[in-house]
């Protein structure tokens, strides 16, 4: 399936809970959870929404899963693959900011809604 690598990339990008309050990037994670993100990947933009209870939805509901904070990284596991991926988001980001993060095999741009 052509979208599988992007779904794996999504897994590397999802984030934040009260546990994040102890990390330098806690404010970024709070903004991500509150507003969601747009993952800008080659040939598409993927809208991702998060809930405070540790769940995410992407691809207009076609992809769902769980997220958690592990130290300064957001770890996510899509239900479709059950493969956990973790990625650190930079500190000091807020709604409207754009930045790049490492994803499995690539770098992707994240825009906080």
Question: Which domains are assigned to the chain?
Answer: 4-112 (2.40.128)
E strand or H helix at 10: helix 4-11
Strand partners, 3: none
Distance from C-alpha of 63 to C-alpha of 23, rounded to nearest angstrom: 28
pTM attached to this predicted model? 0.77
In angstroms, what CA-CA distances link 78 with 26, 89, 94? Answer: 22, 18, 25
Per-residue pLDDT of the chain (113 residues; tens, 9 = 90+): 455 555 555 554 543 333 444 688 999 999 999 999 999 987 889 999 999 999 999 988 999 999 998 888 889 999 999 999 888 999 999 999 999 998 777 888 999 99
Structure token pair of residue 48: 């991702």
């Amino acid at each position: 399936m052509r979208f599988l690598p992007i779904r794996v990339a999504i897994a590397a990008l999802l984030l934040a809970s009260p546990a994040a309050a102890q990390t330098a990037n806690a404010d970024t994670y709070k903004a991500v959870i509150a507003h969601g993100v747009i993952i800008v990947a080659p040939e598409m933009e993927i809208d991702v929404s998060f809930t405070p209870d540790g769940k995410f939805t992407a691809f207009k509901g076609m992809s769902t899963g769980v997220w958690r904070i592990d130290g300064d990284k957001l770890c996510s596991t899509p239900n479709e693959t059950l493969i956990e991926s973790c990625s650190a988001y930079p500190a000091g980001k807020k709604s409207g900011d754009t930045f790049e993060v490492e994803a499995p095999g690539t770098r992707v741009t994240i825009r906080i809604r």
